[in-house]
Structure 1
Amino acid sequence: MIAQIQGKLIEKLPTEVVIDCNGVGYQVNISLHTYSLIQDSEYIKLYTHLQIKEDAHTLFGFFEKSEREIFKMLISVNGIGAGIARTMLSSIEPKRIIEAIGSGDVATIQRIKGIGVKTAQRVIIDLRDKVLKLYDIDEVSVSQNNTKRDEALSALEVLGFNKKLAEKALEKIVFEQPDANVETYIKQALKILS
């Protein structure tokens, strides 16, 4: 197994890089998260995961070791291949994926292209305990955003807004401002819904 690759950066695209290691150019698939972290330096080091299939050997690279570990967890879920896992890491910051899994936030995971409700639920069911244990996340702190969102949703329903529309507005706000308070969620939602 190739655990890491270090060498001269020959080519950098949003989905892949080519790294020269002593005259051999390795094509390494990357996420947008890794792409954003790679500086335009001459030499780089990526942590890698080699996927061997009957028809191809594909190398996936990650700037951070933690992103590689999340990738490996995601591909362990039935129905999540390397392509979808890379899309997930490109769509949402790895830390946010961990928070969504830990808090059982199906909506955040489902927002990723190619992920349906059942797949999002399977990701949470399969990985939640592992994530809570591995990342030592306190379930109370993780579910705090859901609690704030639920409080804001209740307030909006009391004000007479449609539950589905309010949920949609709140999902967007929580995604953009995960650390905001309930009052901010309500005010922002009112701007969207009015």
Structure 2
Amino acid sequence: MIAYIKGKFVVKTPAIAIMEANGIGYEMQISLNTYSAIKDADNGLLYTYLHITENGQTFFGFADMAEKEMFLLLISVSGIGSSTARMMLSGLKPREISEAITQANTALLSTVKGIGKKTAERLILELRDKMGKKVLETVGATGSPKTVSIEDDAIQALMALGIARPIAENVVKKHILSNPELSLEEIIKQSLKNL
């Protein structure tokens, strides 16, 4: 499978990017989030996913791995197709979707076109545990640029472990204020000890 394509952007629209690499043009379906990330670039890299169905093959491009991973999680849910997943990623950032699912925020998920209350509830039911595990797996990991602070990541990790948000916020802030040099992993470990 092709993990990513690096090359020149020949066409960029809010829904499609065509990228030339080694003389071959790759047409990829993209979200508005990806479009925002690449709209001013002449060259770049898109992580890819080839979606194969009985009706055809569709290539999807993502500006970062977080978006690709969220896309894969979304399409793993019964009733969520690739078009709906792309629509969700156009309306919300991966972090917002993750937070909405872990916090059971059906209202936010339902703001996306094509996602009703029942579908939002199914997303939460099927992905809540996976989201929690994903947060724990990425604790302390480096990779794509983070748009949130260590404090937010620590709070999300504690919430994924079943700790209420106000309690998680208080304990994390306390540790960050007492020792701003702590790593994300250390903040989480010390917070868990003090609960």
TM-score with structure 1 length normalisation?
0.71
Aligned residues: 144
Change over 3 Å in CA distance of 1:8–1:121 after alignment to 2: same
- Post-superposition shift, 1:39? 4.5
- Post-superposition shift, 1:106? 0.8
Where does residue 158 of structure 2 map in the other structure? 138
Where does residue 58 of structure 2 map in the other structure? 58
1:6-64 per-residue CA deviation (whole Å, 9 max, x = no partner) reads 11110100001000111211101100001111142221100011001223211111001
Change over 3 Å in CA distance of 1:4–1:104 after alignment to 2: same
- Post-superposition shift, 1:2? 1.6
- 1:35 aligns to what SS in structure 2? helix
- Post-superposition shift, 1:143? 4.5
Where does residue 45 of structure 1 map in the other structure? 45
Contact 1:132/1:138 (8 A) holds in 2: no
Query: 1:11, 1:115 → 2: CA distance?
Result: 29
Instruction: Give the ranges of 4+ consecutive aligned residues of structure 1 lying more than 3 Å apart after TM superposition.
Output: 140-144
Query: 2:41, 2:96 → 1: CA distance?
Result: 27
Query: 1:142, 1:98 → 2: CA distance?
Result: 16
Query: 2:92, 2:4 → 1: CA distance?
Result: 23
- 1:138 aligns to what SS in structure 2? helix
Larger Rg: 1
Q: Which stretches in structure 2 are left out of the alignment for 5+ residues?
A: 137-156, 167-195
Q: Which stretches in structure 1 are left out of the alignment for 5+ residues?
A: 145-194
Query: 2:33, 2:129 → 1: CA distance?
Result: 25
Where does residue 169 of structure 2 map in the other structure? none
Specify the code of the residue in structure 2 equivalent to 1:33. Answer: N
Contact 1:102/1:142 (8 A) holds in 2: no
Matching of residues 9-158 of structure 1 within 5 Å: 9-136=9-136, 137-139=157-159, 143-144=165-166
Matching of residues 175-194 of structure 1 within 5 Å: none
Query: 1:142, 1:110 → 2: CA distance?
Result: 23
Please provide the CA RMSD for this pair.
1.5
TM-score with structure 2 length normalisation?
0.70
Query: 1:117, 1:39 → 2: CA distance?
Result: 33
Specify the code of the residue in structure 2 equivalent to 1:16. Answer: I
Specify the code of the residue in structure 2 equivalent to 1:138. Answer: L
Where does residue 180 of structure 2 map in the other structure? none
1:112-147 per-residue CA deviation (whole Å, 9 max, x = no partner) reads 100111110000000001101211322267745xxx
Identity of matched residues, %: 45
Specify the code of the residue in structure 1 equivalent to 2:158. Answer: D
Contact 1:103/1:142 (8 A) holds in 2: no
Q: Return 36-45 or 67-76, whichever deviates more.
A: 36-45
Query: 2:114, 2:164 → 1: CA distance?
Result: 25
